[in-house]
C-alpha cells in the first residue's frame, strides 16, 4: 500500500490540535472498575466523552446520574453528566469518536485459559464503524501479542472500507492507529491520585505512539513510551507476576512460621526497616481480584506456544490457590481445640470482598472458603458492609444475605477473611467465643480467643 506521509501527518496534526484544544471526542468501551473512572478523568479534563457498554442497566444508571461503583459517588456522575458525559450501548456512535479506549474484561475460562471473547466481541462491534485516523487503544490486561494478533486482524477484516492499522513508520490516509496501554489502578489505594500514576504506552506505529502519548498525556502527568504494544502488554504482566510470586513467597513462609511459632507479621515489619532491597508483601487467605490471580496465567498460556514453561508462575499459583483451603483447615483445628467439629458448627465470615474497603468480590478467597466450610458441614453466615447480598457469580452460587454484626457469641467461630477498616476488632474479640484471623486484623489485641492463621 502506498504511503502519503505528508498528507497524513496533516491529519495527525489535526488530531493533536483537537487533543490540545480538548475537542477530541473520547469513547471509552467497558464502563466497569477501569473504564468508568477513566471516562470521568477525561471528562474532568473537559474532553467530550461517550461511554459504551453492552450492559444496558449500567448505561441507564449513568444516564440517570446514578453510580454502581461504591467509591464513585452519584454527585461525581451528575457533575460529569452536566459537563456532557453520556453513556450508550449503540456502537454506531463509534464513528464519531477520535480516540477509542477499550476496557473490557479479560477473565480465565474454566480451564484457566485466557478468555478473549470480550475483546473479540468489542473489536467486531467497532470494526464496521471504523474510520481512517481514529486511535484505538486497548487497556484490558492480556498476553503479549493480543493487540497485534487478536484485536487488529478483527478490526481490519470487519470494516468494509478496507482500512488497515498503521504499522511501524507507515501510516497512510487510509489507516487507523492502534496502541496498548495497561491500566495500573489500585482499588482503595488513596495514597496516590490516578493522574500521578505513570502511564505506559506502546503504539503499533510511530503515529500511534505519538497520538496515544498525546491522548494520555492530557490526563496523566507522565507517559512512559515503550517500543511496541507487546512490550506494554508484557510490562503489565511483569508487574502483576511480581506481586503474585512475592505474595506466594510470604504465604509459604507464613505456613512455616505458624509451625515454628514465629509471628510472620512481626518478621515482615522488622525486615521492612531495611532501607534498600526489600519490599514488603503480606500473607492472607488467598489471592483475589480481577488481576493478580488471573493475569499471570495469560502469560503461562502464551509461553507454551514458545515451548516455555513458566515455573515461578505455576508454583506461585499452586501456593496461593491452596491458601483458602489452609484457612478452612485452621478453622477446623481451632474448633477442635474447643472440642467441636467443623461439621455442624456455626461460622461467621467477616468480610467477603477480596481486599479491605472495596466493593469487589471477583475471585475473592472468601467465596472458596465459604463453599468449602459449607461442604464440610459448617453452618455459614457472613457480614460485609459492602455486600448486602452475595448471589451468583462466575464460579459460585451462594445465595446469602449479610448478617448483622450482633450477638457474636452465638457463633462457634468468627473468621476474619477481609480486614475492612469499619470493623471494631476489639469489640469483635470481646463478644466472640473464638476468632480466627487471616489478616492480622487483631494485631495489638491480647486474647486467648484469637487464632492467627
Ligand X SMILES: NC(=O)c1ccc[n+]([C@@H]2O[C@H](COP(=O)([O-])OP(=O)(O)OC[C@H]3O[C@@H](n4cnc5c(N)ncnc54)[C@H](O)[C@@H]3O)[C@@H](O)[C@H]2O)c1
How far CA 282 is from CA of 245, 316, 409, in Å, comes to 12, 14, 30
Q: C-beta of 52: minimal distance to ligand X in Å?
A: 5
Q: Which residue is nearest to ligand X (CB)?
A: 32
Q: For residues 427 and 409, what is the distance between their CA atoms, to the nearest angstrom? A: 11
Binding mask 378-417 for ligand X (x = CB under 6 A): ----------------------------------------
Strand partners, 381: 348
Q: C-beta of 181: minimal distance to ligand X in Å?
A: 11
Binding to ligand X, residues 46-105 (CB under 6 A): 52-55, 58, 103-105
Q: C-beta of 397: minimal distance to ligand X in Å?
A: 19
By C-beta, is 107 or 225 nearer to ligand X?
107
Q: For residues 21 and 44, what is the distance between their CA atoms, to the nearest angstrom? A: 14
By C-beta, is 56 or 227 nearer to ligand X?
56
Q: C-beta of 283: minimal distance to ligand X in Å?
A: 21
Binding to ligand X, residues 119-158 (CB under 6 A): 121-122, 125, 139-141
Annotated catalytic residue within 244, 291, 381, 413: 291
Q: For residues 241 and 199, what is the distance between their CA atoms, to the nearest angstrom? A: 18
- Residues near 261 by Cβ (< 8 Å), separated by ≥ 6? none
The secondary structure of residue 168, as a DSSP letter, is B
Q: For residues 308 and 297, what is the distance between their CA atoms, to the nearest angstrom? A: 13
Q: For residues 128 and 94, what is the distance between their CA atoms, to the nearest angstrom? A: 9
Answer for the pair 264, 253: CB distance below 8 angstroms, yes or no.
yes
Handedness of CA 117, 228, 295, 191 (dihedral sign): negative
- From the list 419, 383, 417, the residue with the least C-alpha distance to 403 is 383
Q: For residues 210 and 229, what is the distance between their CA atoms, to the nearest angstrom? A: 13
- From the list 418, 440, 415, 439, the residue with the least C-alpha distance to 428 is 415
Q: Which region, judged by CB under 6 A, interacts with ligand X, from 118-126, 213-221, 241-249, 419-427?
A: 118-126
Q: C-beta of 200: minimal distance to ligand X in Å?
A: 12
Binding mask 14-53 for ligand X (x = CB under 6 A): ---------------xxxxxxx----------------xx
By C-beta, is 298 or 423 nearer to ligand X?
298
Q: Establish if 291 lies at the interface with ligand X (CB under 6 A).
A: yes
Q: C-beta of 289: minimal distance to ligand X in Å?
A: 7
- From the list 172, 171, 219, the residue with the least C-alpha distance to 28 is 219
By C-beta, is 297 or 411 nearer to ligand X?
297
Count of CB atoms situated within 10 Å of the CB of 416 = 26
- Cα angle vertex 425, ends 422, 429, to 5°? 150
Candidate residues 43, 50, 61, 106; the one interacting with ligand X per rule CB under 6 A: 106
Reduce the DSSP state of residue 371 to 3 states and report it: helix
Q: C-beta of 198: minimal distance to ligand X in Å?
A: 14
Binding mask 364-383 for ligand X (x = CB under 6 A): --------------------
By C-beta, is 8 or 290 nearer to ligand X?
290
By C-beta, is 292 or 330 nearer to ligand X?
292
By C-beta, is 97 or 332 nearer to ligand X?
97
Q: For residues 289 and 117, what is the distance between their CA atoms, to the nearest angstrom? A: 19
Residue 291 annotated as catalytic: yes
Residue ranges in contact with ligand X by CB under 6 A: 29-35, 52-55, 58, 103-106, 118, 121-122, 125, 139-141, 183, 185, 187, 290-291
**Which residues are the active-site residues?**
291
Amino acid at each position: 500500500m502506498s504511503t502519503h506521509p505528508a498528507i497524513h501527518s496533516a491529519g495527525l496534526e489535526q488530531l493533536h490540535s483537537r487533543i490540545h484544544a480538548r475537542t477530541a471526542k473520547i469513547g471509552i468501551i467497558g464502563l466497569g472498575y477501569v473504564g468508568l473512572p477513566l471516562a470521568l478523568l477525561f471528562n474532568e479534563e473537559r474532553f467530550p466523552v461517550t461511554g459504551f457498554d453492552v450492559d444496558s442497566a449500567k448505561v441507564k444508571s449513568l444516564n440517570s446520574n446514578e453510580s454502581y461503583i461504591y467509591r464513585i459517588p452519584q454527585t461525581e456522575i451528575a457533575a460529569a453528566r452536566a459537563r456532557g458525559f453520556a453513556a450508550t450501548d449503540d456502537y454506531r456512535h463509534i464513528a464519531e469518536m477520535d480516540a477509542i479506549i477499550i476496557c473490557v474484561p479479560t477473565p480465565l475460562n474454566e480451564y484457566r485459559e485466557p478468555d478473549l471473547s470480550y475483546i473479540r466481541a468489542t473489536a467486531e462491534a467497532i470494526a464496521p464503524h471504523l474510520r481512517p485516523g481514529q486511535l484505538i487503544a486497548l487497556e484490558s490486561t492480556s498476553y503479549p501479542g493480543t493487540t497485534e494478533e487478536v484485536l487488529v486482524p478483527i478490526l481490519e477484516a470487519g470494516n468494509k472500507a478496507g482500512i488497515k492499522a498503521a504499522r511501524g513508520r507507515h501510516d497512510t490516509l487510509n489507516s487507523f492507529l492502534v496502541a496498548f496501554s495497561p491500566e495500573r489502578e489500585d482499588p482503595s489505594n488513596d495514597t496516590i491520585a490516578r493522574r500521578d500514576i505513570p502511564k505506559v504506552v506502546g503504539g503499533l506505529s510511530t503515529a500511534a505512539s505519538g497520538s496515544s502519548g498525546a491522548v494520555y498525556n492530557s490526563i496523566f502527568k507522565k507517559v512512559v513510551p515503550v517500543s511496541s504494544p507487546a512490550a506494554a502488554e508484557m510490562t503489565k504482566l511483569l508487574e502483576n507476576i511480581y506481586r503474585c510470586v512475592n505474595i506466594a513467597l510470604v504465604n509459604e513462609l507464613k505456613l512455616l512460621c505458624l509451625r515454628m511459632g514465629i509471628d510472620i507479621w512481626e518478621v515482615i515489619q522488622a525486615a521492612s526497616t531495611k532501607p534498600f532491597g526489600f519490599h514488603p508483601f503480606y500473607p492472607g487467605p488467598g489471592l483475589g481480584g480481577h488481576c493478580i490471580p488471573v493475569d499471570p496465567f495469560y502469560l503461562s498460556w502464551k509461553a507454551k506456544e514458545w515451548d516455555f514453561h513458566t515455573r515461578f508462575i505455576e508454583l506461585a499459583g499452586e501456593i496461593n490457590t491452596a491458601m483458602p483451603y489452609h484457612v478452612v483447615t485452621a478453622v477446623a483445628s481451632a474448633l477442635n481445640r474447643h472440642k467441636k467439629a467443623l461439621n455442624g458448627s456455626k461460622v461467621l465470615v467477616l468480610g467477603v470482598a477480596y481486599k479491605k474497603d472495596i466493593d469487589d468480590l471477583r475471585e475473592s478467597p472468601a467465596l472458596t472458603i465459604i463453599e468449602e466450610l459449607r461442604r464440610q458441614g459448617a453452618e455459614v453466615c457472613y457480614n460485609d458492609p459492602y455486600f448486602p447480598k452475595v448471589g451468583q457469580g462466575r464460579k459460585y452460587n451462594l445465595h446469602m444475605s449479610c448478617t448483622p454484626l450482633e450477638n457474636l457469641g452465638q457463633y462457634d467461630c468468627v473468621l476474619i477473611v477481609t480486614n475492612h477498616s469499619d470493623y471494631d476488632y476489639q469489640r469483635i474479640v470481646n463478644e466472640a467465643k473464638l476468632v480466627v484471623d487471616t489478616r492480622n486484623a487483631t494485631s495489638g489485641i491480647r486474647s486467648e480467643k484469637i487464632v492467627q492463621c
